[in-house]
Structure 1
């Protein structure tokens, strides 16, 4: 019995190292497997975090683009609002100016009616206010000139002085002088013009010269002259009365056009040039030279 137990103990001792080794191996394999799984999970978690970070960066970039787009849109809307307000203000200012000009022209029309009462009744003058932006007064040839002549008569000079004084009082308006003749040739003689073109142009120029003088004294930049000869008749030229009606001088009063912006810049007064700075006296030895003894 003793021997059998000893043999059994010896066998157990012989297998004990191997059992311990097997346990160590099993533990090592289990720990390695767990470590491998932990590393894999950590790698997957890291990759997930990187993906989330990339998506977040893309979202931030998208939001930044959206914000920039909204800022540009708001700026554009603000500019449009500012431009619309400025445009409405400019339109309102133009409307006020147009109303004030209309009041001036209406006052001028009433004055002209009073001054031309006899000529209007005799059919030697006509007033036309059908255009809301202009006032036109027409004067018959016999009120200003002799037939075929381009020199104003004494009565013509007097009438233009009275009419011109009224037109000159309407500020901000230009006066366009247009002369019209009929289709019949003018008679040759002293002071006559060769053709209807020359006659109408000379008459328009004579009227402008009269308006430049006293009592009208209209500024030259407000005046213009044009001759239309017989090509813009008021009525058909089928009778002596109608031809007489067509031989006329029209003075049109209308607002002066605004000059271009480039011209306005040149008209602005420029400051006088700066005076050159005076140079300080140079310091140094006296220029006097001592003579030799």
Structure 2
């Protein structure tokens, strides 16, 4: 019975000696757990950091792509707006051109209608002279031309208008006075025979004779026919513009004539003074257009 307490004491002593080892083991285990947990936490933190970095890069890439898409879309919108503006301008121009074309067509149709009315009126007023060949009436390119042989208006070799000529010009003036949008050029023409010695004192050459006849017709149309002077032009061509050969009496008779030419004029686009000057410079030979000395 005395040995039991002794064994019990040795057991207690052995137990007390193992406590430090157990504490140490426990500390080691705890330290290992802490290190493991710390290491694992670090790995997780690194993983999260990597994920955050990747996510940030992806977000930046998406932002750059979105900005590039926005810029591209803005450029396309600007191009579309520019094209729309261009098309709108072209549409406006086409509309304006269409209106101008329509107005031009209407003006041309109105001009043709007035031209036909004038032509028909001349035919009616001059039908007797047209029938016997004393007057020739023609129409082309918006112009009307009345050719009168000299014997209808003048005595042989004279520039004074005969009684018959006054009656013819009165009827002609009645038509021309109603024409408001045309210039009227009266041109004198002769054959190639020079004036007789009796007439050469008054008309040294055919220039003077043709000019004097044209001016006298213009004066009559203005003073007796009521045609406004601003629309009248006188020109003399002498024998320089024949319409037939001067080798026959019939040809010379055709060349001795007065031409009355009605030329279109739009007042809004032309200056009457300028047109008269241009006509005189471009179509009239270098001769005087005032009445020759001794004419009426």
Q: TM-score range by the shorter chain?
A: 0.7 to 0.9
Number of the residue aligned with 1:272: none
> Over the residues paired in the alignment, what is the CA RMSD in angstroms?
3.0
Match of 2:121 among 98, 108, 111: 111
Question: 1:54–1:242: structure 2 CA closer, same or farther, 3 Å change rule?
Answer: same
Alpha-carbon displacement from aligned partner over 1:252-282 (angstroms, at most 9, x marks no partner): 223213544999xxxxxxxxxxxxxxxxxxx
Question: 1:256–1:55: structure 2 CA closer, same or farther, 3 Å change rule?
Answer: same
Match of 2:143 among 125, 129, 134: 134
Alpha-carbon displacement from aligned partner over 1:213-242 (angstroms, at most 9, x marks no partner): 23x222233223333333332223331211
Number of the residue aligned with 1:219: 228
Match of 2:42 among 25, 32, 35: 32
Is the CA contact (8 Å cut-off) linking 2:222 and 2:228 kept in structure 1? Answer: yes
Aligned length: 261
Cα separation, 1, equivalents of 2:210 and 2:13: 162
Cα drift, residue 139 of structure 1: 0.8
Cα separation, 2, equivalents of 1:170 and 1:262: 17
Alpha-carbon displacement from aligned partner over 1:13-35 (angstroms, at most 9, x marks no partner): 22433443333333223222222
Cα separation, 2, equivalents of 1:68 and 1:261: 45
Alpha-carbon displacement from aligned partner over 1:97-120 (angstroms, at most 9, x marks no partner): 333333333333333233323322
Number of the residue aligned with 2:186: 177
Q: Is residue 2:22 matched to residue 1:16? A: no
Matched residue SS, 1:91: helix
Q: Is residue 2:135 matched to residue 1:125? A: yes
Number of the residue aligned with 1:193: 203
Number of the residue aligned with 2:276: none
Question: 1:5–1:33: structure 2 CA closer, same or farther, 3 Å change rule?
Answer: same
Is the CA contact (8 Å cut-off) linking 2:126 and 2:171 kept in structure 1? Answer: no
Question: 1:38–1:152: structure 2 CA closer, same or farther, 3 Å change rule?
Answer: farther
> TM-score, normalising length from structure 2?
0.74
Question: 1:188–1:31: structure 2 CA closer, same or farther, 3 Å change rule?
Answer: farther
Cα separation, 1, equivalents of 2:25 and 2:79: 80
**Which runs of structure 2 are paired with 1:1-293 in the superposition (5 Å)?**
2=12, 4-129=14-139, 131=140, 133-189=142-198, 192-214=202-224, 216-260=225-269
Cα separation, 1, equivalents of 2:197 and 2:37: 140
Cα separation, 2, equivalents of 1:242 and 1:68: 76
Question: 1:107–1:260: structure 2 CA closer, same or farther, 3 Å change rule?
Answer: closer
Cα drift, residue 132 of structure 1: 5.3
> TM-score, normalising length from structure 1?
0.75
Runs of 5+ unmatched residues, structure 2: 1-10, 273-296
Cα drift, residue 248 of structure 1: 1.4
Cα drift, residue 124 of structure 1: 1.7
Matched residue SS, 2:238: coil
Cα drift, residue 125 of structure 1: 0.9
